[in-house]
Amino acid sequence: MHSANQDLMPRITRRELLAAAAPGAAVLGAAALGAAPYLDALAPAQPQNAPSPRLTQSFDFDWKFQIGDPSGAEQPDFSDFAWRSLDLPHDWSIEGPADEHAPSAGPGGYMPTGIAWYRKRFNAPEAWRGKTVTLVFDGVYHNSSVWLNGHLLGTRPYGFVPFFYELADFLRPGAENLIAVRVDNSDQTNCRWYSGSGIYRHTWVHVLDPLHIAQWGTTVRCSLEKDSALPVSAKIEVRTKIVNTHSSAASCSLLTAILSADGAVAATLQSAQTVAAGATAECVQQLSVSSPRLWSLTDPHLYTVRSTLLKSGAEVDRCDTPFGIREALFDAERGFLLNGERVKINGVCVHPEAGCMGAAVPERVWERRLAILKEMGCNAIRTSHNPFAQEFLDLCDRMGFLVMAEAFDEWRVPKGQIRHGYSKYFNEWHERDLMNFLARDRNHPSIVIWSAGNEIGDQSAPEGVDTLRELMAIFHREDPSRPVTAACDRIASEPPSNTVRPEFLATLDVVGYNYVDRWRDRADMYYSIDHAQHPERRVIGTESVGIGGIRGDYRYLFPQPGMPSRFFLYQQNRELDAEELWQFVRTYDYVAGDFMWTGIDYLGEAFWPVRITPSGVLDTCAFKKDGFYFYQSQWTASPMIHLLPHWNWKGKEGQPIPVTCFTNCDTVELFLNRKSLGVKGYEFPRQGMEHIYGDYPPRARVLRTTSDLHLTWDVLYEPGTLKAVGVKDSTVAVTIEVSTTGEPAAIALSTDRSELAADRRDVAHLVIEIHDDQGRLVPTAANKIAFTVEGEGKLIGVDNGDPFSHEDFKASRRRAFNGLCLAIVQSTGNPGAIKITASSAGLAPASVSLITST
C-alpha cells in the first residue's frame, strides 16, 4: 500500500469529470467526458475513440454521516442505519448554529466544530482485481483518518491539501466494501479564519493498470522562441512519471500529443521507456508548437497534453492535462510582464469559503463570484492563505485570472491568535503537503507566482531563513518555472527585534509586502525607500488596505451616541488610504501590482456579535458594495458612475449629506430634483504637454476640482432624485439616478441560471430584492423572506451579507438586509422543473421557474 505522500497523475478537466460522474453514470473513461452539460468552448474536444483503460469515478454520492465519535465506526459490521445520508462535498460547521461560546470562537465565526464520521459502502467489480485502485480526497478539514474494511489507510492533519490512498491491499473485488473517515476538528482554535469541518471537497476513485501514469505525474513547462518579440514557436517540455507495480520490469512507450482547444493536434512525440519492477520512472520529452496561441487575460486559451501509455502496442493508460502557453516574468524595474507586455496586477485576496455554502463550495458559486470580480476589473487572485480547490484554479485558467497560490499560514513559529495551528505539524508534514500542492497545481497557467507563507512569525526569527531556504528548495525543485514570494508584514516594523531579517528578504525571488504603508514615513513613501536601497529587488503588494465596510451601512454619516469613534475614522480614512496607495502603485512600474484585502467578505476573524469580516468589496452573497465601484472606476475603461449613499433619509431634511461619486468619466454634473449642484472632475494619471509647448492631450484639459480619485458634493437633504451625468471625451457617456423610494411593497426574484444540469451538483443563485410600488429597490428594507422549492431542486443555503446576523444559513427563510438577500438552489439527479417562491407578510410574492436536464 502506497502512503499518501507518494502523490504523483495528471488531472482530467474537473468540470468534465463532475458532469460525467453524476449519479447513474457509468464508471468513466476518456470517451465519456464529452457529455459535460456545461462544458465551455475552451475545453478540449475529445476524439472519437475507445474509452481509456483508466477508469475515473466520482466518489461523492450516498455517504452516511454522524457528528460524534462512536467506538468501532471504522468496522464494516458497525450499524450506521440511523445516520444521516448525504452527498459530498459537505461542511457540517456551516449548518450551525452560531454560538458566542463556541470553541471555534471569533476565528471560526463562532460556528460548531468537533468530531464526526463519514461512511460509504460500495461494490468493487471483479474486474478491479489485480488493478491499482486509488481513492483521492481533494480536501478534508482536518485531522482525517481513513479506513477501508476496518484497516487504517492513513491520517492527514492539514486540511487544505489533496491526498490519496491506494486500496488494493484491503479491497474486496466482487464484494461490498466500506470506507470510513473520521474527521477531528475539535482542537480549537486551529485556523485564523473560518475553515469549515468535514470532507468539504470532492472525492474520486481511479482504477488503473499496474503500469500507469502516476498521480499528478505529468508536468508541462513552456518557453517561447521569439522573432522581433513575436512568438514563433513554443518549446514544450513534458515530464511524465510512470509507475510499474508489476513484479517484473515493464517495457512501454509513451505517446504524447498536444491538442489545441478545438481538438486539433499541434504536436506529437512517442518515446520508449523501461520501468523496473515496483519502481517509478520519469520520461522527459521535448515538443514544439508553431505559432502558438498564447494564454492571456483577454484570451485564456488552453491546450491539452494527452498522455497515452502503450505496452506491446496496446493502450494501458491515458489521461489529459490542460495547460496554457504563456510567458510570465517579474522584473525589478518593469514590474510584471505577461507575454512580454507590462501588466499591472490588480488583485484581491480571497478566503476559500463562500458565505452560506461554508467551505463546501459548488463550482458555479465560484464562477459567479469570479465573473463579478472580473466586471470590477480585477485580474488576479491571491489564494489566502492555503491551497484552494482544483476547480477554483480551473476557473481561473478558463476565465483569465492571474493567481498567487499560497501554501501556509504558519511554519514553525506559532501565531498567537490560535492555539493549535499548523506549526504543530510543520516539521513532520510540510514537505509532503507542499509536494502535493505543487504537483497538483503546477500546470495551471493562471498561477504566476507561489507564496510560501503569510505573515509567518519565522520571518523575524534567527532560524527563519533556514526554514525559508528549505521551502524554496522544494518549490524550485518541483517547479523551477515560477518565482516564490512570502507575504511579509514586518518590513521596517517595531520593535527592531520584530523586524523581518534582511537575509530572509534576500532569499525570496520576489519580496511580498503586507501593508507597505503601515510603518512611519512609509505611509507616504511606500516602496520607494526600499527601491532606492535595493534597486535589484522585485516587489509586489501581497496584501493591502481595501475599501470594505458593511454593504449599504451609512451610519458613519450620522454618528449615534455609544458608537465608537474609531469605527467612523476607519470607515472614512481607509477610502483615502486605498486611493493614495493605488496612485503610487499605478504610477511606478517597478511595483508589480497589489492584492487588496479582500475581494469578498468572509466568515471568521471576527468579534461577537459580528461573525463575518466585512473587508470585501463584495459581501458574502457577492452583492456589490460601494468599494467595488471605486476599483471599477480605476481598473476599467467603459464609462461608469456610482453614487453613494442611498437617498432615503426621512427625518434628516435640511441636513448636509456628503454625496460621493466614483467614476472614470472626465467630469460629472450632479442634480437634485433637476437643480444642478455643479460640475466636478479629476485627472489621474495626470498628463503633461506633448510634442510642443502648450500641447496638452484632451484628458489634461478637463475641469479638475480635486486630486482625490472620487468626487464629493455636500448636499442639503430633501427627498427626490439625485441625477449624475458623466462626460467623457466631450460627450455625455453615462447617466444614473438615485431616488427616494416608498415603503416596501413587493418582492422581486431573479436568477442567474434558467437551466441546470440534473447532476445533484449544479446550482442557481436566486437574488431577492425588496421593491416599492414603483419597482424601485428599497435600500433600507429588512423584511423576512420565506422560501419554498418545488420539483427537482432543493434549497441549500440562504444569506443576506449582514455581518451581525446570527440566522441559520441552512434555514428556509432569511431577513433581507438593506433590501437584498440570497437563496441558492441545487438540482437533483432527475431532469424536470424547479419552482422557487419567495414570500413575506405584507409584500406581493414572487416566483421563478428553472429547468433541469441531463
Q: Among all residues, which ones are annotated catalytic?
A: 455, 543
SS3 849: strand
Q: 430: which 3 cell numbers? A: 510540510
The whole-angstrom separation of Cα 349 and Cα 542 is 8
Question: What are the CA-CA distances from residue 821 to residues 202, 417, 523, 770, 815 (Å)?
Answer: 28, 32, 38, 9, 7
User: What does residue 656 show for φ and ψ, rounded to 5 degrees?
Assistant: -75, 135
Nearest to 355 by CA among 18, 616, 625: 616
Q: What are phi and psi of 393, to 5 degrees?
A: -70, -35
Rounded (10°) CA dihedral 491, 492, 494, 498 = 40
- Determine the Cα–Cα distance for residues 782 and 770; give it in Å rounded to an integer: 8
Question: How far apart are the C-alpha atoms of 63 and 118, rounded to whole Å?
Answer: 7
Phi, psi of 444 (to 5 degrees): -75, 120
Q: 278, 273, 257, 140: which is closest to 197 by C-alpha? A: 140
250-259 vs 303-311, strand pairing mode: antiparallel
> Which DSSP helix (H) or strand (E) runs through 455?
none
Residue 36 CA to chain centroid, in angstroms?
Answer: 22
Count Cα atoms within 13 angstroms, Cβ side, for 396.
25
Q: All 3 cell numbers of residue 619?
A: 459581501
Q: Cβ distance 485 to 405 under 8 Å?
A: no
Q: Using alpha carbons only, how large is the chain's radius of gyration in Å?
A: 28
What are the start-end ranges of the H helices in 419-564? Answer: 426-441, 464-478, 502-507, 522-525, 528-533
* Residue 711 exposure: Cα atoms within 13 Å on the Cβ side: 30
Please tell me the distance from the alpha carbon of residue 392 to that of residue 395, in angstroms, as a whole number.
5
- Which of 671, 641, 645, 666 has the alpha carbon at shortest distance from 734? 641
E strand intervals along 390-429? 402-406
Q: How many Cβ atoms from other residues are within 10 Å of residue 710's Cβ?
A: 20
Q: Which residue has the cell 464529452?
A: 34
Cβ atoms within 10 Å, residue 690: 10
Phi-psi region of 454 (alpha: psi -120 to 50; beta: other; left: phi over 0): beta
Query: Which residue shows C-alpha cell 509586489?
Result: 540
Instruction: Give percent helix, percent strand, percent coil of the chain, each to the nearest 5.
Output: 15, 40, 45
Name the pairing type of β-strands 175-185 and 144-148.
Answer: antiparallel
**Euclidean distance between the first and final Cα of the chain, in Å?**
38
Strand residue runs (E) in 50-202: 55-58, 63-67, 84-86, 114-124, 132-137, 144-148, 151-156, 163-166, 175-185
User: Residues 71, 770: contact at Cβ < 8 Å?
Assistant: no
Q: Is 475 helix (H, G, I), strand (E, B) or coil?
A: helix
Q: What gap in Å lies between CA 94 and CA 111, rounded to an integer? A: 7
Rounded CA gap, 793 and 828, in Å? 5
* Contact between 338 and 326 (Cβ < 8 Å): yes
**DSSP-assigned states of every residue in 285-318:** EEEEEES---B-SS-B--EEEEEEEEETTEEEEE
CB distance 389 to 643 below 8 Å: no
